[in-house]
Structure 1
């Protein structure tokens, strides 16, 4: 077996990245990332891209600073499916935590769907602990282009960064 190692970097997601992010969600979701890029330009969020040496995003995710005072809330974390379980999500989360700390905040929070035990196990391994539950919902695009409301229950988790 041959092993290949790539040097990955993290930077802000840009509009130029969006055509390469089709794996990150529905076409509607990728189009709406433009709004998150604008929010990042306004300082409300950081929206990160983990990239290969060629600059192609293989993971993306945001940190929202407007959800809870004193915390950065991680959301929309995703890794290119073919590269999951390679440590890229851990790298993305660590980079997001560095952004939170650079703003002088000492807490990272996130919500994980209760039917996603694999993600929850990752967050727990990285030091996140449950502190509550709340429902969440968003519109998803179906194959025929129509929208339907997706509803779920999330476990709220936090990690002290101090």
Structure 2
């Protein structure tokens, strides 16, 4: 089997990108992303896209500088399903960490749903360590437009930035 290497770029996600990000989730999910882009305009967060040569986002995620105090939270990470396990998530997280370093922050944290072991493995490989846990819940939209309440335990993970 031959290996194909595709160059990736990382840039700020814009509202103009949203129509091609249907892979991210429901209309409600994309509304949260649009809100994050607005927050980026105010300097509260950075929200990034990883793109192949087409320039179309295949991964997105943000880093929130408003919490916790003295650090940043990486959140809303997603890689297009067909491209998972190709290293794209690691590129995205590395770029988000770099943005936090650029603000002089010494550590970042993120949360992972205990029902999702795959992302946790990536975070551990990238140097994140467990720092606690919490119960979380949110409304989750189904494809038919109905909503259900999703509750889960979140493992908090932290990484020192050097």
Counterpart for residue 105 of structure 2: 105
Q: 2-side partners of 1:19 and 1:141: how far apart? A: 19
Q: Is contact 2:26–2:143 with CA below 8 Å preserved after alignment?
A: no
Q: Distance in 2 between matches of 1:61 and 1:152?
A: 21
More divergent stretch after superposition (58-67 vs 141-150) = 141-150
- Please state if 1:31 is matched with 2:34: no
Gaps of 5+ in 1: none
**Structure 1 residue 87 corresponds to structure 2 residue 87:** yes
Stretches (4+) displaced over 4 A: none
> What's the Cα RMSD here?
1.1
Which residue of 2 is the match for residue 59 of structure 1? 59
Cα distance, 1:139 vs structure 2: 1.8
- How far residue 146 of structure 1 moved from its aligned partner, in angstroms, is 2.0
Q: Give the superposition deviation at 1:4.
A: 2.7
TM-score, normalized by length of structure 2? 0.95
Distance 1:142 1:121 in 2: 27
How far apart, in 1, do the equivalents of 2:14 and 2:153 lie?
31
Inter-partner Cα distance in structure 2 for 1:103 and 1:133: 26
Deviation at 1:65, TM superposition (A): 0.9
1:99-144 deviation per Cα after TM superposition (whole angstroms, max 9, x unaligned): 0000000101000111111111111111000010011222211122
Q: How many residues align?
A: 162
1:17-40 Cα distance to aligned partner (Å, 9 max, x none): 111111112121113311110000
Instruction: Note the residue ranges of structure 2 that are not aligned, 5 or more in a row.
Output: none
The 8 Å contact of residues 79 and 88 in structure 1, kept in 2 or not, is answered as yes
